[in-house]
Structure 1
Amino acid sequence: MELRQLQYFITLCNELHFSEAAYKLGISQPTLSQQIRVLEDAVGVPLFDRIGKKTVKTEAGVILERYALEIFQKLENAKSAISDLTELHAGHLRVAVLGSDLDYRLTPLLVDFHKEFPHTRVQVISSIEIAEMVLDNEVDLGVGLSLKPDSRLQRIPFYTESYSLYVDDGHALADREYVEAQDLVGIPFVMYPKGFYGRQLLDSWCTEQEISIQTIMETGSATSLLQLVKEGVGATIQPSRLIDSFQSLRIRAIPITNSPIRELAIIHRNDKYMGRAAQAFMKRLEQSFHPSV
């Protein structure tokens, strides 16, 4: 059994189509078929069933895929560990983050990180499918709302924050020191669309508080939401600390009694090697949310 054959096998597992897998690998279909047969001879059982034009993994194929992916992950870990020994910190760090408000807190962190690791290419990807991207090895780290426990993932909570009501200076509630859940009923709101984690959190909180809020406009950008608030289109409910990034808009963030709470966490695969650059990024992330640390 050769690594090259396992790579062919994994590609076919992903495509489940011999022609497409061969095209992705840059080899002919007969060559791919022959190498898969060699691999099946080595393990002693069929790895795929060919049903007409359809290709499906057998039970043995599913098992081999799991272990083959672990093999390639360990090889990647070894390469990363050896690269760390050079102390050049070259490489590629991929981070998936929740969009919207987290974007504004990451820029200072990225500047400081680049000064320490100038040879490391950093790619920050905005997504609401963070756990899936981490599990599929599309990214090295995920930063977002704390998730349900998953044995495949390491979860590191690093910050918990409340939410506030954001209104323009001329709003009827602008001078309030705090608001109750009932005060939100009847206010026109501009909010994230359904499907965003922040919106899901708020919808669940409203259900718990036995209230319903009126949404008149939805957008996936924190900047546009707060611009709409500034222009008096509506109010919004956002993490309390977000006001730090938008002081110039002259809007008010009013604490909400018993507000929604979100716990932010860093997640990564348990079996993935976390090099010096990744560890430094995680440490800086915690420090950026806890400046006194």
Structure 2
Amino acid sequence: MPKTDTILSTKSLHYFLQLIDTMNYTQAAQILGITQPALTQQIKKIEHAIGTPLFGQMGKKLYLTEAGKQLQTGAIQLLGTINSVVSDIQEFTQADKGNIAIGVLESVDSDLLRRFLIEFNQKFPNITISVSYFNRKDLWYNLDNNLIDLGLLYVPETAKKSQSNIQNQYEQMKVTQERLTILTHNSKFKAKKAYPVSKFLGKNWVLYPDSFYLTQLLKDKLGSKLNAKNGLNVPLTFTSTKQMVDTAQETDYETVVGESYYQLHQDEIDLTPVFLKGVPKFTTSIIYRKGKKEVPRIENFLAEFKKFLQA
């Protein structure tokens, strides 16, 4: 039997966790930038090393075996520990070297961050940055377990993750002030004006999935009954903001975005931006564990981002 220390490398564990995320060999291989046979071979090597299957198959669908679930837990803990140790070592290095892992809430438009990263990379080419997208639960999990350094997410006035927890364990840097912005076909509406719920009942919508924060905000006001008279009728959902907006413009459907997204892309949008009365404002913020700013490259990154936002 092969030695497990030659098989269970950080790279192989990363491949294993990526396959769990997609439960699809083809998609996982594309994300990892390798061929499907190479990924399949890597998983088989791990299974051979530990002596038991990690994945089962029911029809065309993969599922984790009990052994796979145990390895998943161990792999997450191990990679978190390794990242933490590497971070601890790099704390004593220069501010212009090292790695930064950023997690972005999947419904947050990250174009502003992308533009900044281009400038930052040109100025600090020896700092490598990885950006990953998560739902809210997974984003907090990765922050809590030190699997990412920074999180970019919506922070509502009343967050499910208690404000005391954010204040006690995390620090926050506000990036943009946000407001739920409805993009409507109604030409009688005045841009940037707030309208009551009654003006939007019975409309067809193209939205983010139910788990996305902006969809939850809208449903809190319009009601969550799908396909009901005067309810929220959502024939199409997308995780991509651009696809959602493009679809709204090519149909008679209404949609919602964050105000900052509209401001960045208003020249490409023909729909009228309006607000919904009674929906609280919120922010797009960078969240990070207390103590992270003591890492020179993180402190440098946040300082440069603040300059970029003020420019």
CA root-mean-square deviation = 4.1
In structure 2, distance between residues paired with 1:203 and 1:131: 23
Q: Which amino acid aligns with 1:110?
A: L
Counterpart position of 1:114: 121
* Alignment match of 1:138 (pick from 128, 141, 147): 147
Residue by residue over 1:228-284, the C-alpha shift from the partner in whole angstroms, topping out at 9 and shown as x without a partner, is: 121133011221221123223322212333334223332223355642332233234
The CA deviation at 1:99 is: 2.4
Residue by residue over 1:104-135, the C-alpha shift from the partner in whole angstroms, topping out at 9 and shown as x without a partner, is: 22121111211221111111111112111112
Is residue 171–residue 290 contact of structure 2 (8 Å, CA) maintained in 1? no
Q: Which amino acid aligns with 1:140?
A: D
Is residue 166–residue 251 contact of structure 1 (8 Å, CA) maintained in 2? yes
Q: Which amino acid aligns with 1:185?
A: L
Is residue 95–residue 123 contact of structure 1 (8 Å, CA) maintained in 2? yes
Q: Which amino acid aligns with 2:118?
A: V
Is residue 101–residue 148 contact of structure 2 (8 Å, CA) maintained in 1? yes
In structure 2, distance between residues paired with 1:271 and 1:212: 47
Structure 1 residues 157, 186: CA separation in 2 closer, same or farther (over 3 Å shift)? farther
Say whether 1:242 aligns with 2:258. Answer: no
Is residue 142–residue 268 contact of structure 1 (8 Å, CA) maintained in 2? yes
Counterpart position of 1:280: 300
Counterpart position of 1:187: 203
Tell me the TM-score normalised to structure 2 length. 0.62
Structure 1 residues 253, 267: CA separation in 2 closer, same or farther (over 3 Å shift)? same
The CA deviation at 1:101 is: 4.2
In structure 2, distance between residues paired with 1:254 and 1:217: 21
In structure 1, distance between residues paired with 2:180 and 2:91: 40
Say whether 1:253 aligns with 2:264. Answer: no
Counterpart position of 1:262: 282
Q: Which amino acid aligns with 2:92?
A: I
More deviation in 111-120 or 151-160? 151-160
Give the number of aligned pairs: 238
Structure 1 residues 274, 203: CA separation in 2 closer, same or farther (over 3 Å shift)? farther
Counterpart position of 1:46: none
In structure 1, distance between residues paired with 2:132 and 2:87: 22
In structure 2, distance between residues paired with 1:130 and 1:93: 15
> Which structure has the bigger radius of gyration?
1
Is residue 178–residue 283 contact of structure 2 (8 Å, CA) maintained in 1? yes
Is residue 184–residue 213 contact of structure 1 (8 Å, CA) maintained in 2? no
Counterpart position of 2:249: 230
Q: Which amino acid aligns with 2:259?
A: S
Structure 1 residues 191, 110: CA separation in 2 closer, same or farther (over 3 Å shift)? same
Counterpart position of 1:60: none
Runs of at least 5 residues in structure 1 that lack an aligned partner in the other structure: 1-7, 9-22, 30-52, 55-65
Runs of at least 5 residues in structure 2 that lack an aligned partner in the other structure: 1-7, 9-44, 52-65, 68-76, 225-229
Is residue 107–residue 213 contact of structure 2 (8 Å, CA) maintained in 1? no
State the SS of the aligned residue for 1:246.
helix
In structure 2, distance between residues paired with 1:284 and 1:122: 14
Residue by residue over 1:68-107, the C-alpha shift from the partner in whole angstroms, topping out at 9 and shown as x without a partner, is: 99997774444112222xx5x2221110012244222212
Counterpart position of 2:89: 79
Q: Which amino acid aligns with 1:233?
A: D
Q: Which amino acid aligns with 1:107?
A: R
Is residue 100–residue 129 contact of structure 2 (8 Å, CA) maintained in 1? yes
The CA deviation at 1:224 is: 0.8
In structure 1, distance between residues paired with 2:238 and 2:253: 12
